[in-house]
Amino acid sequence: MVRAGILDVMPATSLADWLRSASDDELGALLQARRDLATPPPSDSTVLATRAGTAGSVARAMEDLDTFTLSVLDALLVADADTEAVPLAAISELVGADVRPAVDRLRSRVLAWGDDDAVRVVPAARELAGPFPAGLGASAPGLDVESALAEVGDDERGLLGALAAGPPIGRTRDAAAEPSLDAGAKPVQKLLARGLLLRRDDETVELPREVAIALRGGRICSPKALREPELPTRPHQQSTVDETAAGEAMEFLRQTESLLTQWSEQPPPVLKSGGLGVRELRKLARELDTDDTRATLLAELAAAAGLVADSQSTSPEWVPTTLADSWLASEPAQRWVILAEAWLDLPRLPALAGQRDVKDKPIVPLSDELRRPLAPSVRRRVLGTLAELPRGAGVQGADDLVELLAWRAPRRGGRLRDEAVRWTFAEASALGVIALGALTTAGGALLAGDRSGALNAVYDAMPKPIGYVLVQADLTVVAPGPLEMDLATEIAAVADVESAGHATVYRITEASVRRALDTGRTADELHELFRKRSATEVPQSLTYLIDDVARRHGRLRGGAAGSFLRCDDEVLLAEVMGNSVSGEYELRRIAPTVLVSPYPLAEVLDGLRAAGFAPAAEGPDGRVVDLRPSGRRIPARPRTARRVVPEPTGLTGEQAASVVTHIRAGDRAAASRKGTAVRLPGGGGGSDTAATMALLARAHREQREVWIGFVDAHGTASQRIVTPTHVGGGVLIGRDDERYPLHRITSAALVDD
């Protein structure tokens, strides 16, 4: 006899018998493949068989099956293998291919069982396959399909072809009409008359199974279902992939920095229902010069990395945390790894934002509606598929990945299965985890859990910081690459970003120079900055601009009174008093060179600047100080040290072996003949306990096997055959060092020889 998967001894009459005949290794492999069967450990093979046949467990086991294996399972159901045994050859004929590998896989998961000449499937599989396995309808025995099809016209054949593709049910008012072959009869009437359609009710017809199989060429599944689709790829140098991804990563980091800066100055409110409002999202997208989808991803990853959080105040806002400062002070490679790790383990789907929920309300970023605990597993499946390709090989598009992953696990992922793959591909490209359709070196290390490897890879791929800029005659400053941190800080203080990308263009204006002077920098320091750091000659127009702004800057000095203004030039103070700004801020002269106001100094200076003056703030020592707000911060909340596990962890080999030993012991106990038993309905106590102790002591003394029934810590009742090596201290110890508390033993008996 030939058997596959769980191997041969004697013909099995039930699934439990089949499991008892399996080797320990095969049973252990089953428990590792279907981990839900082992919790709690089954007491024997009968319990294991019952558990393996439940609809919930079968559904979980089917999630891992590919399209071909599911097609073979459909063929088994079409052949009614859930009610009677069928030969493997008949299934191969239905599918049109060698089905042994698929049947072996089904048998290894106990979705099917039996020898090659008598294969069966668990009954729950029919319930889960739906009413029409393989898209086929009811059988019509005795129908001469070939002769009937030879007589149909084009209209009738077109209708049959539509139903043959599945499902086999069609709704039509013509179902109520009398079957007829008259020349004026409708196609449905003719097909009903020939038996090529079956009437289910006055509005429903069904295509017989035999007709559909004939129209499919004698096979129940399409050729595409028989083999995994090929994944078209394009070769690239891995260095090209990494460098391209590094450019995307730099842009993503720059936009994250901008988000933190904007939310420091103007934190957006938290909606009453939680999340970020549509108006605030669009404002963020506009300021970052991007779309809503990317702005959502930026906000979600900033929150996931702990860089921003809900302030949880009376009027809650999304505010950067203290972690944002350390993140901003880190090297670009370190910043990227923090965001990439947050994305990979993010139990949310940011791309769902903007869609409608069950109440037809828009889903907003940072809300609970985006939570999807299985999202990390989707990302790892996509990246894992790319990791299977040769280094540098990239797919041509996300749709190719969608087709491949849908074939590999069509029952996994739910209604968002395909969209989640597309979203993952787009997000990974935006973040720089993949580029040109290929997995980067850093992305591969990240997938493998090698944080230091990812850090080193992205550091090598990113362009090295440069220590110079190119100052143009039109007062623009070009940074042809990422700037050294101190230089970037100085340039950002004196210039505004005009365009960003691989080369950043800054614009120097009167306002930006005044801003630099407001921070305490002097004109000489600004001249020195451009003289030393510009790779081009500093244009005279920039020198004149700095000198002109510096000459006017700080002639007015303000302090707190509310606030005060002082100026050695009495004419300038008179000009201020003659301006409408003096009334707006209630300025009054307290000395020929001093004005005071009840308003805060920052507001007074802003008003004067709006009126065309160029005041500066001074500290107690008379030096210029920077009054600009540094941005709000809230304490970073403790982050739970956890690792998101995309898939439930299976049993180790050792754990599986332990459960198998437990099952075998139960099988042995159930099959043993028992002598006179001592029953303990109350779980022991009194004379019952004394009798049990006497029986166990006798078994120990005579080295005989004893059958016991006991209840474990989970409340599960089972039986065991034990050869006692010690009885006492409230515990029975067996020959294999197994321990059974006496108060859990419910019955006991000597095993007959």
Half-sphere exposure of 53 (CA within 13 A, CB side): 17
Q: What is the reported pLDDT for 249?
A: 93
Q: What is the dihedral of CA 740, 744, 745, 746, to 10 degrees?
A: -160
> Which of 689, 669, 701 has its CA nearest to residue 730?
689
d(CA 31, CA 109): 9
The SS3 of residue 425 is helix
C-alpha span between 391 and 236 (Å, rounded): 8
pLDDT at position 119 is 92
663-692 in b/e form (b: 16+ CB < 10 A) is bebbbbbbeeebeeebebeeebeeebbeeb
Between CA 19 and CA 122 the distance in angstroms is: 13
Residue 52 contacts residue 6 (beta carbons within 8 Å): no
Report the C-alpha gap between 497 and 488 in whole angstroms: 11
Please report which residue ranges of 311-360 form alpha helices under DSSP H.
322-328, 332-344
Helix boundaries (H) for 195-237: 209-215
Q: Where are the domains of the chain?
A: 145-219, 233-461, 470-548, 557-617, 672-751
User: Which of the listed CATH numbers 3.40.50.11440, 3.50.50.60, 2.30.30.100, 3.30.300.30 matches domain 672-751?
Assistant: 2.30.30.100
560 token code pair: 């707190």
- Within 10 angstroms of residue 739's Cβ, the number of other Cβ atoms is 9
Length of the chain in terms of residues written:
753
* Main-chain phi, psi angles of 130, to 5 degrees: 90, 175
In the chain, the amino acid numbered 232 is: P
For the segment 251-270, what is each residue's pLDDT rounded down to a tens digit?
999 999 999 989 998 999 99
Both structure tokens of 709? 């029934």
| Alpha-carbon Rg for the chain in angstroms | 39
Confidence at residue 492, expressed as pLDDT on a 0 to 100 scale = 84
Q: How many Cβ atoms are within 10 Å of 575's Cβ, its own excluded?
A: 14
pLDDT in tens, 276-331: 999 999 999 999 889 999 999 999 999 999 999 998 888 899 999 988 988 988 88
**Burial 304-338, CB ≥16 within 10 A → b, else e:** bbbbbbbbeeeebbbbbbebbbebbeeebbebbbb
Q: What is the pLDDT of residue 364?
A: 92
- Tell me how far apart the alpha carbons of residues 264 and 617 are, in angstroms, rounded to a whole number: 22
The amino acid at residue 750 is L
Q: Cβ distance 351 to 291 under 8 Å?
A: no
Give the separation between CA 416 and CA 729, rounded to whole angstroms. 58
3-state secondary structure of 511: helix
So what's the pLDDT on residue 560?
Answer: 61
CA dist 274 and 316 (Å) reads 10
Kindly state the tokens that stand for 158.
């077109």
For the chain, 753 residues long, the average pLDDT of each consecutive 10-residue run is 39 77 87 85 84 89 92 91 90 90 92 90 89 85 82 84 85 83 82 86 87 86 88 93 92 92 91 91 92 95 93 89 88 93 95 86 91 93 95 92 93 88 96 95 94 93 86 88 82 83 84 87 88 89 89 77 86 90 89 88 88 86 71 64 49 81 76 50 48 78 79 74 80 79 79 61
Helix residue spans in 113-208 (DSSP H) = 124-129, 145-150, 154-164, 187-194
Q: Which of 563, 582, 301 is nearest to 431 (CA)?
A: 301
CA distances from 275 to 203, 256, 318, 416 (A): 48, 18, 9, 22
- Dihedral sign, Cα of residue 23, residue 27, residue 32, residue 38: negative
* Secondary structure (H, E, C), 39-77: CCCCCCHHHHHHHHCCHHHHHHHHCCCCHHHHHHHHHHH
